[in-house]
Structure 1
């Protein structure tokens, strides 16, 4: 007779995501997962596979959730310039308010696991491509509305804004000076004028 699961799989996945995000893959042991998730090893293995499989599922969950939030946020913005400023402000605010200084899970994974993990390198590259394409689509909206000059190189701007957004996440882990970060945002956004 199969065992009945006495835990919510999605809630447990969220908890695992937070633990891996905070500690990283290598610094999180199976015992850490057992303690943090409040379920036994057998349940973890039966439901998610081993530590690597649980990590992969938690990381995929993080990326999918962030993608949905990013797209919904950008779609709700009437102005592209103000939308990017609001996005960067939000990223800075999250970083400043995060007492654990976790930064961005994607960046953390890239710095911890790449270049030694080819599979993860491909995941990170795919995530980057998605982010740049999303920024590019948003910038095109600004070109279409006349807010951004049609002579601007939208692909280069999208790539630069992605790099800058990631840079904010990295810098804020060690120096969460909100005023300085916002001044950098204003400088970068002059490229859209």
Structure 2
């Protein structure tokens, strides 16, 4: 008779996500995952089969968080510029407050793995597309209320917001200067 699991698989995925977020996929060892999750190697592999499968589950969990955060962002009331500015400034503050300067897990995966792994590429693109869809909806809302009057395709502008966000994560990994990062936010939002 098999013993029941003595751990919560969802909590293990959360812990593994943090381990991958710090070390990336290639540099994260099974020992790192065991230490980060508190599981023995046998439990880890019996439940998740491979490091690769656990990485994919961690990226899925990260995507779930992104979807939740973006839904909350869409529900915010008030001027659209301030909603977008607040979203980007939270990214700045989060990046600068993180002693490990981890950035965005999806962006890190895209840079590290790229399109060499179609499943990972699909998960990162889905994460990016969630943010772009939210920004597009906010931009369209701002245009409908007359707050945003600049022309151009709302989807293209939403992609520009996402590009600014990725820039914040990348620059924030090496620069601790808040003004450098808020300049990105201000220039982007003023251009909307």
Give the TM-score category using the shorter length. over 0.9
1:160 maps to which residue?
A: 160
Q: How far off its partner does 1:81 sit?
A: 0.2
Distance (whole Å) between structure 2 residues aligned to residue 14 and residue 122 of structure 1: 20
Count how many residue pairs are aligned between Structure 1 and Structure 2.
192
Cα distance in 2 for residues equivalent to 1:103 and 1:124: 14
Q: Over aligned residues, Cα RMSD in angstroms?
A: 1.5
Of 177-186 and 80-89, the range deviating more from structure 2: 177-186
Whole-angstrom distance in 2 between the partners of 1:39 and 1:158? 41
**Per-residue deviation, 1:129:** 2.5
Question: Any residues of structure 2 matched to 1:33-44 within 5 Å, and which?
Answer: 33-44=33-44
Report the CA distance shift for 1:51/1:178 in structure 2 as closer, same or farther (over 3 A). Answer: same
* Residue 68 (structure 1) aligned with residue 68 (structure 2): yes
| Structure-to-structure mapping, 1:1-193, within 5 angstroms | 1-149=1-149, 151-192=151-192
Aligned counterparts of 2:10 and 2:122: Cα–Cα separation in 1? 25
**3-state DSSP class of the match of 2:176?**
coil
Farther-moved stretch of structure 1 (126-135 vs 32-41) = 126-135
Give the C-alpha shift of residue 180 in structure 1.
Answer: 2.0
2:149 aligns to what SS in structure 1? coil
| SS at 2:57 equivalent | helix
Kindly provide the CA deviation profile for residues 58-87 of structure 1, in whole angstroms up to 9, marking residues without a partner as x: 111011112211220231132110001100
Query: Bigger CA drift: 48-57 or 4-13?
Result: 4-13
